[in-house]
């Protein structure tokens, strides 16, 4: 072997090692297999930045294992919401991916997180796992699966169960999905809106699985302190993911609202976990503190009032909601659309302009 050949082979070997290390470390530690894996699936369209937001929240919450974003979108929101056959095909790919990981890392924890239409693929992937293969838990955020979809087979493929995050204030699920149809095409209300119930013909075993393994976490106004104001993607906000989703992945107990708390008062007094008060803020309970609330408390109060009007007043008019990206917009304009329609007036509590809504199906979830 010539000297030139030897040098060339050495260089190739070094580059190969470097390439392997780089390919395995996009969100991964060197002992990635020992820490397990988290798979994250976007909602329909995959264009709202929700996966990155979830990843950031998990990291902030102390999740150190690799987080893999599983891309499944076919390019269009309505296409993703209605393309059952294509979606089930992608779900099978996810199932095979989970099995391949568990083959090289048996016993490692595996969590699968889906948003909106992506929750359909999460459930179908669990259903498609080989017999004897299970994941640690699945997490459904704002699911657009039908409320009576049979979760029994998927629940049976989990060790800790399925955690479903719901919100009755989610206008995307209440309006958009009700019109376009659930991702499983059953045509009922979305489980992410009103929760999941066993189908009428469910077996005793299925009902047992629901009782023991389905954990539903409903939105309440106190979650405003974590950035979740009841909207469709509120559960994907980093602060909320850190507080409510990361503990599930870490196997910790979830924080719960205080039993004696007044919901709309709680958001004015509870500080987000892990955030210290301002150094120069007046002592709590003093007259000075009441007179000079921090900017954070003002923002929380404004968000709480918006949530209260949405629930108690039957909804907001578009006049009350700033356009995405505008000053005072509680949502990030780069990630969220203004799903309320009928722009240009109206009074609080007025019905939405259905004609305008139905004329723009591309804005559906």
Q: Which uninterrupted H or E stretch holds 237?
A: none
Q: Report the pLDDT value the prediction gives residue 303, as an integer from 0 to 100.
A: 55
Confidence of residue 126 (pLDDT cuts 50, 70, 90): very high
Q: Report the pLDDT value the prediction gives residue 275, as an integer from 0 to 100.
A: 40
Q: Report the pLDDT value the prediction gives residue 299, as an integer from 0 to 100.
A: 55
Residue showing tokens 């009032």: 305
pLDDT at 346 over 60: no
Residue showing tokens 């902030």: 60
Q: Which residues contact 6 (CB under 8 A, 6 or more apart)?
A: none
* Domain boundary assignment for the chain: 27-249, 263-270+283-363
- The DSSP bridge partners found for residue 269 are none
pLDDT at 221 over 50: yes
Q: Report the pLDDT value the prediction gives residue 277, as an integer from 0 to 100.
A: 37
SS3 139: strand
Which DSSP symbol is given to 145? S
Domain 27-249 superfamily per CATH? Alpha/Beta hydrolase fold, catalytic domain (3.40.50.1820)
Q: Which uninterrupted H or E stretch holds 127?
A: helix 118-128
Rounded to an integer, what distance in angstroms lies between the CA atom of residue 74 and that of residue 214? 30
- The DSSP bridge partners found for residue 163 are 139, 215
- The DSSP bridge partners found for residue 38 are 67, 111
Residue pLDDT, tens place only, 6-42: 434 343 333 333 333 233 334 443 344 457 999 999 9
User: For the residues 221-231, what does the mean pLDDT come to?
Assistant: 96
Residue pLDDT, tens place only, 280-319: 434 444 444 444 445 555 655 565 555 545 544 444 333 3
Rounded to an integer, what distance in angstroms lies between the CA atom of residue 123 and that of residue 183? 11
Residue 271 dihedral angles phi and psi, to the nearest 5°:
-90, 140
pLDDT at 262 over 90: no
Residue pLDDT, tens place only, 169-217: 999 999 989 888 999 998 789 999 999 999 999 999 999 999 999 999 9
């Amino acid at each position: 072997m010539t000297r030139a050949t030897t040098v060339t082979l050495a260089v190739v070997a070094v580059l190969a090692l470097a390439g392997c290390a780089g390919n395995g470390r996009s969100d991964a530690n060197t002992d990635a297999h020992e820490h397990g894996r988290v798979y994250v699936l976007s909602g329909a369209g995959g264009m709202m930045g929700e996966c990155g937001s979830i990843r950031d929240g998990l990291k902030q919450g102390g999740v150190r294992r690799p987080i893999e974003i599983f891309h499944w979108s076919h390019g269009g929101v309505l296409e993703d919401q209605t393309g059952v056959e294509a979606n089930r095909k992608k779900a099978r790919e996810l199932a095979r991916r989970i099995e391949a990981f568990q083959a090289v890392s048996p016993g490692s924890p595996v969590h699968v997180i889906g948003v909106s239409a992506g929750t359909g693929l999460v459930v179908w992937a669990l259903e498609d796992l080989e017999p004897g293969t299970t994941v640690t838990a699945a997490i459904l955020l704002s699911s657009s699966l039908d409320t009576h979809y049979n979760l029994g087979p998927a629940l049976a493929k989990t060790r800790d169960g399925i955690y479903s995050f719901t919100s009755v204030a989610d206008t995307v699920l209440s309006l958009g999905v009700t019109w376009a149809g659930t991702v499983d095409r059953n045509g009922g209300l979305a489980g992410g809106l009103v929760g999941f119930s066993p189908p009428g013909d469910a077996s005793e075993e299925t009902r047992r699985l629901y009782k023991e393994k389905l954990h539903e976490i409903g939105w309440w106004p106190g979650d405003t302190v974590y950035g979740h104001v009841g909207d469709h993607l509120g559960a994907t906000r980093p602060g909320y993911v850190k507080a409510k989703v990361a503990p599930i992945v870490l196997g910790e107990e979830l924080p719960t609202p205080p039993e004696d708390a007044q919901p709309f008062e709680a958001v004015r007094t509870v500080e987000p976990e892990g955030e210290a008060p301002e150094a120069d803020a007046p002592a709590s309970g003093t007259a000075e503190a009441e007179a000079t609330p921090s900017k954070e408390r003002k923002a929380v109060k404004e968000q709480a009032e918006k949530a209260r009007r949405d629930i108690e007043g039957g909804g907001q008019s578009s006049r009350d909601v700033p356009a995405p990206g505008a000053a005072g917009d509680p949502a990030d304009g780069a990630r969220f659309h203004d799903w309320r329609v009928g722009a240009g007036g109206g009074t609080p509590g007025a019905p939405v302009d259905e004609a305008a809504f139905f004329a723009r199906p591309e804005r559906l979830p």
